[in-house]
């Protein structure tokens, strides 16, 4: 029943940011822009942010951390 799911805590906000960027975009600028977004979200009290990490190797700029 829906009433069993009642939650009286504060509403929390978060963001998942996929690691996909345009191939025409400078990679350094793309990372900098992502970090600027994270800083902005922190200033407006977002609770968390996740940066996606994919290991498929073709398009993503965040590849395997061990390579």
Of 5, 8, 35, the closest CA to residue 19 belongs to 35
3-state secondary structure of 33: helix
pLDDT digits (tens, 9 = 90+) for 2-37: 567 777 788 899 999 887 888 898 988 988 999 999
Higher pLDDT, 42 or 30: 42
Predicted model pTM? 0.67
Tokens for 51, please give them.
């940066």
């Amino acid at each position: 029943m829906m009433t069993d799911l009642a939650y009286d805590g504060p509403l929390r906000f978060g963001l998942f940011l996929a690691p996909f960027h345009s191939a025409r975009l400078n990679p350094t600028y793309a990372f900098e822009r992502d970090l600027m977004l994270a800083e902005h979200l922190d200033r407006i009290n977002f609770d968390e942010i996740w940066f996606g990490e994919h290991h498929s190797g073709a398009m993503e700029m965040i590849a395997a951390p061990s390579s």
